[in-house]
């Protein structure tokens, strides 16, 4: 009986031995109802201590693969021949009630439900202690944990640590463009919006409507999150390519909290200073709403406002501004598809293209 002895701190030897015995059972070496070799025989064959062999057998009993008959030994149970059901762990701060309250979690959950149904895989929510949950499913006889999908930006560094700790598991980081996204472990991948090219297309849309005097409105994020930075960069590149001059004072950054109100105040201040831009490029729909409110309050017409993300479809419809529709649900669906297929993933960062939505 050969076991692969991994370095200390990775997979305990008794778990490796348990997995080896389980593979032998699955292969038909020990059919249902037959007895396993005695613990001392297993220990000798595997070159481990009797204590290690005992722990391995206890794990098989605990998982329901084997059962104990007093004074007769350990026998292979009927569950050993069951097909493992595929599951994917979903690590998020949001519980099952959150989609009713948070628009981004709502579209993530829509993708999760649709992707799970299409790929016949069960999502398992992890709200805390992910290491324990991953271990439990990874070592289960009933479930085949295909990998972990992470939906929160503040879990990026912890996800890297988990990916290093569980090299046999795949990890997908969804949506957020973090500063260290190009330095992921081999088993960690990112599925994000192509913020740069989406913003480039929106800037071209503005230029195509004969707007050459543009103000850009953005939100201050944590330094590690480059999502809005990339949107600004894409739009600035397009404006530069089409010879639209954007000065430093044309780029306004507002605080993250109370974005609609902060955008309203920023644009009101701009208008009252006498500035009348032809267009206002906004990095999300909330600040586009604030900009529209300010223009209406100051009775300023014929200024194009553009949004980005389409998380609040009613906002862009109400104020009739174009926005970039980001494929949030498709990000999660793509991750589930890749987990279930077991195909080799050639791209570390998968960027989905957004589409302009006019209203």
Lowest mean pLDDT among 56-65, 98-107, 112-121, 130-139: 98-107
Lowest mean pLDDT among 85-89, 206-210, 250-254, 308-312: 85-89
CB neighbour class for 23 (10 Å; exposed up to 12, middle 13-18, buried from 19): exposed
Confidence label for 4 from pLDDT (cuts 50, 70 and 90): very low
Lowest mean pLDDT among 40-49, 121-130, 173-182, 275-284: 121-130
Answer yes or no: is pLDDT of 235 > 70.
Answer: yes
Answer yes or no: is pLDDT of 127 > 50.
Answer: yes
Q: CA-CA distance, 74 to 327, in Å (whole number)? A: 52
Of 75, 222, 207, nearest in space to 152 by CA: 222
Answer yes or no: is pLDDT of 182 > 70.
Answer: yes
Q: Give me the pLDDT at residue 97, please.
A: 56
DSSP result, 72-97: TEEEE-GGGGSPPEEEEEEE-S--TT
Instruction: Tell me phi and psi for residue 92, to 5 degrees.
Output: -160, 155
Under 8 Å between Cβ of 266 and 217: yes
- Residues 283-306 have pLDDT tens digits of 999 999 999 999 999 999 999 999
- Residues 59-82 have pLDDT tens digits of 898 878 899 999 899 999 876 555
CA dist list (Å): 306 to 298, 319, 320, 323:
18, 10, 9, 6
Instruction: Tell me phi and psi for residue 337, to 5 degrees.
Output: -60, -45
Q: Give me the pLDDT at residue 205, please.
A: 98
Q: CA-CA distance, 15 to 44, in Å (whole number)? A: 17
Structure tokens at 306: 């553009």
Q: Scan for tokens 């009252």, then name that residue.
A: 272
Can you list the positions of beta strands (E) in the chain?
66-69, 73-76, 85-91, 122-126, 143-150, 170-175, 188-193, 214-219, 251-254, 279-282, 304-306, 323-325, 349-352, 355-357
* Cα 331 from chain centre: 8
Confidence label for 36 from pLDDT (cuts 50, 70 and 90): very high
Over residues 263-288, mean pLDDT: 97
- Residues 165-179 have pLDDT tens digits of 999 899 999 999 999
Cα radius of gyration (the chain):
27
Q: Give me the pLDDT at residue 71, please.
A: 87
Over residues 267-294, mean pLDDT: 97
DSSP result, 247-271: -GGGEEEE-STTHHHHHHHHHHHHH
> Mean pLDDT over all residues of the chain?
91
* 66: number of Cβ within 10 Å: 25
Q: Give me the pLDDT at residue 173, please.
A: 98
Q: Give me the pLDDT at residue 317, please.
A: 96
Higher pLDDT, 356 or 139: 356
pTM above 0.85, yes or no: no
Task: Identify the structural domains of the chain with CATH numbers, from first to last.
Answer: 13-81 (1.10.10.10), 85-193+329-352 (3.40.50.2300), 195-325 (3.40.50.2300)
Confidence label for 26 from pLDDT (cuts 50, 70 and 90): confident
CB neighbour class for 180 (10 Å; exposed up to 12, middle 13-18, buried from 19): exposed
Q: Give me the pLDDT at residue 8, please.
A: 45
């Amino acid at each position: 009986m050969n076991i692969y002895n991994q370095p200390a701190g990775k997979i305990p030897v008794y778990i490796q031995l348990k997995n080896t015995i389980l593979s032998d059972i699955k292969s038909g070496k020990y059919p249902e109802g037959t007895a396993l070799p005695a613990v001392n025989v297993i220990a000798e064959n595997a070159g481990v201590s009797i204590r290690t062999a005992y722990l391995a057998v206890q794990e098989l009993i605990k998982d329901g693969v084997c059962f104990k008959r007093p004074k007769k030994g350990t026998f292979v149970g009927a569950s050993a021949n069951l097909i493992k059901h595929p599951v994917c762990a979903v690590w998020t701060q949001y519980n099952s009630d959150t989609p009713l309250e948070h628009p981004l979690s709502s579209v993530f959950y829509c993708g999760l439900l649709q992707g799970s149904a299409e790929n016949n895989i069960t999502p398992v929510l992890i709200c805390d202690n992910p290491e324990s949950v991953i271990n439990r499913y990874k070592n289960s006889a009933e479930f085949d944990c295909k990998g972990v999908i992470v939906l929160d930006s503040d879990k990026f560094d912890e996800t890297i640590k988990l990916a290093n700790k569980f090299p046999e598991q795949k990890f997908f980081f969804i949506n957020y463009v973090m500063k260290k996204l190009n330095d992921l472990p081999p088993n960690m991948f990112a599925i994000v919006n192509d913020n740069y090219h989406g913003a480039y297309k929106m800037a071209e849309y503005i230029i195509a409507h004969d707007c050459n005097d543009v103000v850009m409105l953005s939100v201050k994020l944590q330094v590690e999150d480059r999502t809005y930075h990339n949107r600004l960069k894409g739009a600035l590149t397009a404006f530069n390519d089409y010879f639209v001059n954007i000065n430093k004072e044309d780029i306004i950054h507002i605080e993250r909290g109370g974005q609609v109100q902060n955008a309203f105040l920023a644009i009101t201040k701009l208008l009252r200073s006498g500035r009348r831009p032809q267009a206002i490029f906004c990095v999300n729909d909330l600040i586009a709403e604030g900009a529209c409110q300010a223009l209406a309050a100051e009775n300023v017409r014929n200024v194009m406002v553009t949004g980005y993300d389409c998380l609040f479809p009613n906002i862009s419809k109400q104020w009739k501004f174009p926005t970039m529709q980001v494929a949030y649900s498709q990000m999660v669906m793509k991750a589930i598809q890749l987990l279930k297929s077991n195909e080799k993933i050639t791209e570390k960062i998968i960027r989905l293209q957004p589409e302009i939505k006019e209203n």
